[in-house]
Structure 1
């Protein structure tokens, strides 16, 4: 790097940004890829052909227009949007998280979330110049109600995030505790339902009871991680305020059309989710039978498992061409934990065999 470039970076790039690590994505070519909670299934050939023909007719020479409104309407129908509620779109949930931080960046504002949790809550807060308050979960990965209530009373956060189910622990928090935290929150509460297709319950049924709660979802776990589409719903007056900071045309016409196509064929994605839920149960049973391995209950398309030596097991499995996620350094509660994505039956067989061989 030249001295000129070093000078420019030192002078004009924020010091906290220079000190940060970027979001790490593991190389996965040639691997059984079970590290990122993706839906492992592609569309059947007939649907792939139909989607290709449909996308070929999209006017990519024009900015996104009324078709985005069609997508909002389709999603509203899909979730059963309550009366008086609005819905906004994001380029994945990540963009919505960033937009929320931008919209709530009043002097002295902070964002609060349980830890371990989704890393983007903290990253978006810090990039926007907001304080981030992380409240550790209990040892059983349940919300620490007393600690959450105390932290909210002390810091008065603008936003409280509750992932439902949580990432990377994969559990649904106790509903009674969630409700007491929601009731006590001084600002917005965002219920992040990224893994809703695999969960036994949703907060959508309760959201209409509250005027300060937003529910955020994504089509990534639905089966469309590649198109980057998230959405958020809540009282229309609140959604309208946050929507003001959304960049114009943030969702492409191709992404919108692919999402509309998927919603029209949601029975296929429901079929895929049913297989993954069944495979999740099979995986948990197989992991439970392995010496020294403790899988935790899951309501997502991932399983958190505590193992004798996470770093060594991760490396051994990678050498056997099975890629999982070593989360053991993310938080002390995750010591010696791996996060395993639920794959196809064939991929899960390979993961089980690789783990057995690596442990031996």
Structure 2
């Protein structure tokens, strides 16, 4: 994308707030060890690649997606062990689901509330839909500030509250008792975002049926299908039925659906990959804690947030040494001098540690 300036003729056609926004930035990773986006670093074994290729090649690409999407929904219900009375809708990644939720809840005076620092798409979806966004600062230890959250809920009466579980970019889980008090205080919807569920020690799903105003959002991106773009939203059947009305009719392609079904049929392969990444995460935590001047925070995701003496210098030095991570130090004042490191393969992790140590 170039920095070309929109012509005077076209400028009035685009909303002014859109023109003043920054687009979601994706870093150029060409030639680098890519550890900036929390992707699963493993590919399928060659025999499974060949089998998947045969299945995708046999699809009727001349037809709109049909009953195969129902098969995917049913497979995800079984995979997630969805409670009785709950339903599930599909999204083109969880990013689309976040946008659809903002669209469905766009009533006069509506607002979206979330702890910050957090996933940038919560605020972006609010702005794009013309809703107010209220960010509530986390504590310095990156835990929820319960008093500030409850005060903001009482004052702002948000239509949607997002609670990432675990959070991005801080990677940790929050206190369940605090989450429950926020859920009980919420005047509208609460969305528990479990994007990193394959790496987490806890899930909210067993409590989902107890709260008809709570939605659970997950994605297959961290499962190992970031390129396939499949997300899903689960909750009480009547609520899902209403939100599903704003979903485009063919938002998930037959190629994506079949790839997701294939992955769920071989879930043991992906579960083994997640187990290895959890082991690698534990080893990285130990090694990072031994580096002078480096402070890692506990992680329940496939990323680790670290504070270093000089984030800009460390980021540039690591990139110069062929390793790309994410410099989050300017995202929020609480993240000063912080880098976000994706957990990769054993070889990638070793190279990342070497590059970080040399760049401090």
Q: Which category of TM-score, normalised to the shorter sequence, fits these structures?
A: over 0.9
| Structure 2 counterpart of 1:177 | 178
- Distance in 1, matches of 2:71 and 2:226, equals 20
Partner of 2:79: 78
Are the aligned partners of 2:194 and 2:216 in contact in 1 as well (CA < 8 Å)? yes
Q: Which residue of 1 aligns with 2:233?
A: 232
- Could you tell me how far apart the structure 2 residues matched to 1:182 and 1:43 are? 39
CA distance in 1, matches of 2:9, 2:159: 34
SS across alignment from 2:60: coil
Q: Scaled by the length of structure 1, what TM-score is found? A: 0.98
Secondary structure in structure 2 of the residue aligned to 1:6? coil
Aligned residue in 2 for 1:322: 323
Question: 1:63-142 residue pairs with structure 2 within 5 A?
Answer: 63-142=64-143
Closer, same or farther in 2 for the Cα pair 1:321/1:5, shift >3 Å?
Answer: closer
Which residue number in structure 2 is paired with residue 262 of structure 1? Answer: 263
1:171-224 residue CA offsets vs partner (Å, 9 max, x unmatched): 000000000000100000000000000000100011111010000000000000
CA distance in 1, matches of 2:301, 2:5: 48
Aligned-residue offset at 1:356:
1.2
Describe how 1:1-360 pairs up with structure 2 within 5 A: 6-359=7-360
Length-normalised TM-score, structure 2: 0.98
| Structure 2: distance between partners of 1:358 and 1:116 | 25
SS in 1 for 2:281: helix
How far the C-alpha of 1:5 sits from its partner, in A, is 5.3
SS of the residue aligned with 2:318? helix
Q: How many residues align?
A: 358
Q: Distance in 2 between matches of 1:60 and 1:284?
A: 46
Q: Secondary structure at the match of 1:281?
A: helix
C-alpha separation between the residues in 1 aligned to 2:146 and 2:9?
A: 46
2:83/2:206 contact within 8 Å kept: no
| Cα distance in 2, alignment partners of residues 190 and 8 from structure 1 | 41
Alpha-carbon distance between aligned partners in 2 of 1:159 and 1:358, rounded to the nearest angstrom: 41
Q: Hey, what's the Cα distance between the residues in 1 that align with 2:143 and 2:296?
A: 15
CA RMSD, aligned part only? 1.2
Q: Deviations along 1:33-59, whole A, 9 cap, x unmatched? A: 000000000001111111011111111
Which string of whole-angstrom CA distances, capped at 9 and with x for unpartnered residues, describes residues 39-83 of structure 1? Answer: 000001111111011111111110000000000000001111111
- The answer to whether the Cα contact below 8 Å between 2:278 and 2:302 also exists between their aligned partners in 1 is yes
Output the CA distance in 1 between the equivalents of 2:82 and 2:238.
14
Change in CA separation of 1:349 and 1:244 when aligned onto 2, cut-off 3 Å: same
Separation in 1, partners of 2:82, 2:144: 28
Which structure 1 residue ranges, 5 or more long, are not aligned?
A: none
Question: How far 1:4 sits from its partner (Å)?
Answer: 11
Are the counterparts in 1 of residues 197 and 203 from structure 2 also a CA contact under 8 Å?
A: yes
